[in-house]
Amino acid sequence: MRVGVPKEVAPSERRVALVPDAAGRLVKGGGFEVVVERGAGTAASCPDEAYKAAGASVADRAAVLGQADVVLQVQPPTSADIAQYREGAALVALSLSGGDGSLVRQLAQRKLTAFSLVLLPRITRAQPMDALSSQATVAGYKAVLLAASATGRFFPMLVTAAGTLPAARVLVLGAGVAGLQAIATARRLGAIVSAFDVRPAVKEQVQSLGAQFLEMTIEEHAETAGGYAKELSEETHRKELAFLATAAKDADIVITTAAIPGKKAPVLITAAAVQGMKPGSVIVDLAAETGGNCELTEPGTEIVRNGVVILGPVNLPSTLPLHASQMYAKNLSAFLGHVVQDGRLRLDFEDPIIRDTCVTHAGEVRKT
Residues classed as catalytic: 122, 127, 130, 133, 228
Query: How many whole angstroms separate alpha carbon 368 and alpha carbon 366?
Result: 7
Which of 75, 45, 63 is closest to 315 using CA atoms? 75
Asked if 283 and 294 touch (Cβ cutoff 8 Å), the reply is yes
By the 10 Å C-beta count (0-12 exposed, 13-18 middle, 19+ buried), 304 is classed as exposed
Asked if 131 and 212 touch (Cβ cutoff 8 Å), the reply is no
Q: CA geometry: angle at 178 spanning 128 and 267, to 5°? A: 130
List of residues 6+ apart from 11 with CB closer than 8 A: none
SS3 311: strand
SS3 4: strand
**Type of residue numbered 265:** A
Q: Residue 14 — φ and ψ, nearest 5°?
A: -110, -5
Q: What is each CA distance from 270 to 46, 127, 175, in whole angstroms?
A: 42, 35, 20
Helix (H) or strand (E) holding 212: strand 212-213
Query: How many whole angstroms separate alpha carbon 138 and alpha carbon 135?
Result: 5
Number of H helices, E strands in the chain: 12, 19
Query: 285: which DSSP letter?
Result: E
List of residues 6+ apart from 80 with CB closer than 8 A: none
